[in-house]
Amino acid sequence: MRYVYTTTILLVRHGQTESNINGYYMGWTEEDLSKVGYKQIQRLASRLASQNMAAVYSSPLKRTYSTAAILAKPHGLEPTVSDEIIEIRLGDWQGLHRDEIKQTWPEIWQQSRTDPSTVRLPAGESFAEVTERAVRAFNSIVAANQGLQAVIVSHEVVIKVIIAHVLGTSNRIYRQFEIANASLSKVQVTAGKALLVTLNDTAHLEELR
């Protein structure tokens, strides 16, 4: 009789950065967590410290790697960097404030705020391209951790498109749910079928609010 494994993937968005608060789109720049962001991730690390973790995967950017390193430390792990779960490539939007983006690209901005599923950022990536690489990484991580629990530390866009994939829907739902900084979402995969168990859990941040 073939044993059926359940694999658990924890999707974690990096902790807060200054740009998350002041409205700048930093993209692939090497911005680190803010002081609040570090506190957020320490709280999450404490929450997860007693759980079994097989691996922690991280986007290569500093804010995600800092997050992943803090989460990995209680388990004696080192984060594994995956370029496929890096932030969406912002192209011409990188480094700009949202007000400047709205003024310069009003139609693309409006589409991105309602239904970004068909949007391509100017000189950047489309949401379809991000989905392709993010889902590929998710499936590879599930395959490498059969019957175990692993963490993926990434960005809002990447986590949202993975969740849309898990739910079997398109990125049209992108603006219909939130993925906050330092939030925890849980997916379980059994016999190839994925189940979203927890979405945007921030209970560990209650005392910081």
Q: What is the structure's pLDDT at 207?
A: 77
Those residues of the chain that have pLDDT short of 70 are: 1-2, 209
- 184 C-beta neighbours (distance < 10 Å), count: 22
Q: What is the structure's pLDDT at 4?
A: 80
Amino acid at 164: A
Report pTM: 0.95
Helix, strand, coil % in the chain, rounded to nearest 5: 45, 20, 35
Strand partners, 149: 8
Give Cα 27 to chain centroid, integer Å. 13
Q: What is the structure's pLDDT at 209?
A: 66
What does R_g of the chain's alpha carbons equal in angstroms?
A: 17
User: What stretch of H or E contains 188?
Assistant: strand 184-190
Q: Which tokens belong to 175?
A: 């603006």
CATH 2.40.50.180 fits 6-208, yes or no: no
Q: What is the structure's pLDDT at 2?
A: 66
Q: Which tokens belong to 174?
A: 């992108």
